[in-house]
Amino acid sequence: MVTRDDFISRFGGVFEHSPFIAERAFEAGAIREPFTAASVHAAMCTAFRAASDAERLDVLRAHPDLAGRLAIAGELTEDSRREQAGAGLDRLSPAEHARFTALNEAYTEKFGFPFIIAVKGLSRDDILSAFETRIANSREQEFETACAQVEKIARLRLESLIPEND
């Protein structure tokens, strides 16, 4: 039987710098062994959706800018570094980096949280296109879109932590 501490140690980073999601999912009693990515994801998303808007905003704000200053300084979490590198965001030309920086700044100024997208399987052009489309959204639309993307990122992370035969 997995303990609360073991569960949080294993899954606390799935929602970027927000272990309270794993804590609440475990404490709700919705976690059953054997773990599957789907079952842990469902429990954690339930906890995330039950969080207050302020708490969910904090989760959004815990995410780094895409190709931003944390990436340049090498200060991303290992998951974020791997995800951004997989989309080629660690190999931007100076012009592409300038475009990402300008969009990051405009987006954060408008919405109060960074642009969040599950980058797995997307190209730089796909990401830029989504960036440019989503910046026209209302704050309410974008809050919901960003939360859905956080949940998608969590699912992808859980799939790498819990192999099918685990």
Of 17, 41, 63, 97, which residue is the catalytic one?
63
Tens-level pLDDT at each residue, the chain (166 residues): 899 999 999 999 999 999 999 999 999 987 888 899 999 999 999 999 999 999 999 999 998 877 666 455 566 677 777 877 777 888 888 898 889 899 999 999 999 999 999 999 998 899 999 999 999 999 999 999 999 999 999 999 999 999 875 4
Residue ranges covered by each domain of the chain: 4-57, 64-152
Predicted local confidence at residue 92, as pLDDT: 84
Q: Whats the size of the chain, residue-wise?
A: 166
**Residue 90 DSSP class:** G
63 catalytic, yes or no?
yes
- CA nearest to 15, candidates 160, 159, 162, 150: 150
CA distance 161 to 166: 9
Q: Can you tell me whether residue 77 is helix, strand or coil?
A: coil
Q: Report the helix count and the strand count for the chain, using DSSP H and E.
A: 9, 0
Predicted local confidence at residue 88, as pLDDT: 83
* Largest Cα span, the chain: 52
Structure tokens at 123: 């190209």
CATH code of the region 64-152: 1.10.3330.10
Predicted local confidence at residue 78, as pLDDT: 78
CA distance 109 to 23: 31
Structure tokens at 90: 């660690």
Predicted local confidence at residue 41, as pLDDT: 97
Task: Report which residue type is found at 65.
Answer: D
What is the pTM (predicted TM-score) of this model? 0.90
